[in-house]
Amino acid sequence: MSAYTGNLVCVRCGAVHPEPALELIGAGCPACVGANVLPQYDINVLPGVRPGWSRGRATLPLVDGQPGLFRYRALLPISDDVTPVSLGEGGTPVVELPRLADSIGLRGVWVKDESRNPTWSYKDRLAAVATTKAVELGAETVVVASTGNHGAAVAAYAARAGLRCVVLTLASVPATMKTLMQAYGAEVVALPTPADRWHLMGELVRARGWMAMSGYADPPAGSHPYGVDGYKTIAYELVEQLPAPPDAVVVPVAYGDGLAGIARGFADLAALGIIARVPRLIAAEPFGPLARALATGADTAGPVPVGPSVAFSTASPFGTQQSLAALRGSNGAAVATPDNDEIMDAQLALAGGSGLYLEASSVTAVVALRRAGLGPGETAVVIGTSTGLKDVGATAARLGEVPVIEPTIVALDKVLR
Amino acid sequence: MSAYTGNLVCVRCGAVHPEPALELIGAGCPACVGANVLPQYDINVLPGVRPGWSRGRATLPLVDGQPGLFRYRALLPISDDVTPVSLGEGGTPVVELPRLADSIGLRGVWVKDESRNPTWSYKDRLAAVATTKAVELGAETVVVASTGNHGAAVAAYAARAGLRCVVLTLASVPATMKTLMQAYGAEVVALPTPADRWHLMGELVRARGWMAMSGYADPPAGSHPYGVDGYKTIAYELVEQLPAPPDAVVVPVAYGDGLAGIARGFADLAALGIIARVPRLIAAEPFGPLARALATGADTAGPVPVGPSVAFSTASPFGTQQSLAALRGSNGAAVATPDNDEIMDAQLALAGGSGLYLEASSVTAVVALRRAGLGPGETAVVIGTSTGLKDVGATAARLGEVPVIEPTIVALDKVLR
């Protein structure tokens, strides 16, 4: 039994919208500008679910025999009857980084390595829940605006579910990302600007009845409301995996759906009495719309000026209201990471120092962690959102050519460092 | 306590070699041509290990509090004192493919998705154990010959352990693979031919005392003997994860170290009384050296003629004696998959039909499964060794360009299928 009430609630005005609400998915609240509607839960129903997990650390209401992150389906916004669309997502490891912790002066730092998901990014958590909801509501075609990770995840889950998938992307997206989305059978087209994609998505939802798998409000209100709650499972897993809840969680953000979803997961854990307080959430964002809103006390985040960024999948001029609220509600922070060289240096330092090769957007979280002002006794988790393989060209540009040599030690010695 | 006796045993002559045996690692048996030496175990010591795992299906001797695949360290060839070098490898999901099973007429087919490992291939299992052994034996520099996956895995684990890593590769290897290996800080050089790499490795082992992390005998005898036993954990996990042991396991093979390691894992499970019989092992190999040896009754596998292959990481003219023995010992089979178009078609069919995008070499196992002659009541597991992201260019060559369109439904309709 899921604690989901069947309602969506506006994060700004609190208006309650009963499901099914296909036109609300991706459009945000009809009464508010740039505010998403998100699922409502009643955790009082949860005693009916067997408390299944225990490693002496926490007890979460698990449902046996469910694939991937659907073991948490009691806390996910899906019908009790629907068969999950799963590729075995979630359950990603936390990898400790003792050298990074020492260099910053923290008690402990872990990477939650989300590159271990089915399409090698944390967007699989969103796509698993959003696609399950698409099946539940009878959608036949899904449409998504994406620079790559989100589109690839939706394409893969749509393939798994037998749904048609149309991806609206940008010409500037790396070739690897385009091929990946196409490989899953999605129909991929590029549009001139991000806003073009949102406006076309809106038309397609209204004219064709397609389900939007990402947000299309302008300014952005946030992503697929059911999909956002897929990110809650990151919080659940962290509490299961770590010796104690971390003091801070650093999340790379574009619009902040991942951060908001993780915050909602921690809120569930607090409501269930599993954790005493919510960790500080720290946003890493190339151009700092949330950072500016926190500094100025603004109600909305952005637009701020943007430029070319190696962290292309998070290089947004906007934050969303729920991500701003999540930062304020957790006594969190936001750190702008505009320096491309600094990001790429950090990417190679992490790979060469710890064996984790994460995409540039993920690495912004490591950069932000160094500036987040955490205290020496504290612990932090960095969300490693995706693999460096998604844009290997950016890394290659900073490395030398592989030399071709004769097969002798003398020739080898000439090229070794 | 590990059941490892501290000895290496020749797979051909049975000669026993006590550890430390640095010069034996990668060179094979000094008395036999092309025969590896592999770790010896005494499972009678295992009752001292707490039987830790049980889901009503199997009981394996687990060791608590160990990272990644080292929870199986009681069955791994490492000292009880050494701290594992781990990036949270293993524990990869099995994803069921009901449509593929129906189309072949099998009772069930699963992919063991090894792209969920730290460097996104099953080579991480080898690298985790081999690097732990390198630390145990005090090696400071490791050297590996690789077309990509093996080298990337060794580079990452060497980075994790603080060891220097030199990779000997080929100029023909895809750019993504080269960048990936370099990203982890390895020193990567290309040599004219595969045999050039082996001969140079041998010189480096003898002259510099570096540890070989892959085999360098010519003809090939097999890989790092301790690393090979990292693959045993695939068998352990399959028995934990599936409702019953599969009837067949299909493994993409170059020299067959993965297949031999998996066979050794199943042999352990049989010796422990956890399974009644070893599944049939089926080798998928582009050019068929093992297939020919099985057909002719030969003692050794290959060389056979080879050509250009999209499955470049497995396109070997040789098999090894232990992989041939594993096939014969399990009443297995080997299937040649020389048709590049067939492999690439299968790659896109699997991604578009099931949401799993695997590298071409992995997909040879799906091609082989169709020809393996399994019976309608049988079940099979395909080992998905690595991600399609490792050579995305090969996929892109079969897909159209992403069109750039004006943001209207009319323009979109013109380009949609």
For chain A, 417 residues long, give each residue's pLDDT as a single digit of tens.
899 999 999 999 999 999 777 889 999 999 999 899 999 999 877 754 434 444 344 578 888 899 999 999 999 999 999 999 999 999 999 999 999 999 999 999 999 999 999 999 999 999 999 999 999 999 999 999 999 999 999 999 999 999 999 999 999 999 999 999 999 999 999 999 999 999 999 999 999 999 999 999 999 999 999 999 999 999 999 999 999 999 999 999 999 999 999 999 999 998 888 888 899 999 999 999 999 999 999 999 999 999 999 999 899 999 999 999 999 999 999 999 999 999 999 999 999 999 999 999 999 999 999 999 999 999 999 999 999 999 999 999 999 999 999 999 999 999 999
Mean pLDDT of B283-296: 98
> Which residue in chain B has the smallest CA separation from A190?
B404
List CB contacts (< 8 A) between B357 and chain A. 119, 156, 180, 183-184
Q: Is the pLDDT of residue B83 over 80?
A: yes
Least confident span in A375-379, B47-51, B83-87, B95-99: B47-51
- pLDDT, tens digit, 9 for 90 and up, residues B181-235: 999 999 999 999 999 999 999 999 999 999 999 999 999 999 999 999 999 999 9
Per-residue pLDDT, B176: 94
Per-residue pLDDT, A274: 87
Contact check, Cβ <8 Å, A395/B176: no
Contact check, Cβ <8 Å, A183/B388: yes
Contact check, Cβ <8 Å, B120/A387: yes
- pLDDT, tens digit, 9 for 90 and up, residues B354-397: 999 999 999 999 999 999 999 999 999 999 999 999 999 999 99
- pLDDT, tens digit, 9 for 90 and up, residues B100-150: 999 999 999 999 999 999 999 999 999 999 999 999 999 999 999 999 999
Q: What are phi and psi of A334, to 5 degrees?
A: -135, 140
Mean pLDDT of B57-74: 86
**Who among B94, B180, B188 is closest to A389 (CB)?**
B180
Contact check, Cβ <8 Å, A180/B156: no
- What CATH code would you report for B94-120+227-396? 3.40.50.1100
Q: B415 and A189 in contact (C-beta within 8 Å)?
A: yes
**Who among A94, A166, A404 is closest to B416 (CB)?**
A166
Q: Is the pLDDT of residue B162 over 90?
A: yes
Per-residue pLDDT, A137: 95
Contacts 24+ apart (CB under 8 A), B305-310: B307/B338, B308/B340, B309/B338, B309/B340, B309/B360, B310/B340, B310/B343, B310/B344, B310/B360, B310/B391, B310/B394
Contact check, Cβ <8 Å, B357/A184: yes
Contact check, Cβ <8 Å, B357/A188: no
- pLDDT, tens digit, 9 for 90 and up, residues A337-390: 999 999 999 999 999 999 999 999 999 999 999 999 999 999 999 999 999 999
Nearest to A339 by CA among A363, A304, A313: A363
For residues A307 and A326, what is the distance between their CA atoms, to the nearest angstrom? 26
Residue type, A259: L
Nearest to A26 by CA among A35, A13, A14, A18: A35
List CB contacts (< 8 A) between B204 and chain A. 409, 412
* Averaged confidence pLDDT in chain B: 94
List CB contacts (< 8 A) between A392 and chain B. 175-176, 179-180
List CB contacts (< 8 A) between B407 and chain A. 191-192, 196-197, 199-200
Per-residue pLDDT, A47: 58
Contact check, Cβ <8 Å, B118/A356: yes
Give Cα separations from B343 to B146, B283, B300, B302, B349 (angstroms).
22, 15, 27, 22, 10
Contact check, Cβ <8 Å, B180/A388: yes
Per-residue pLDDT, A53: 40
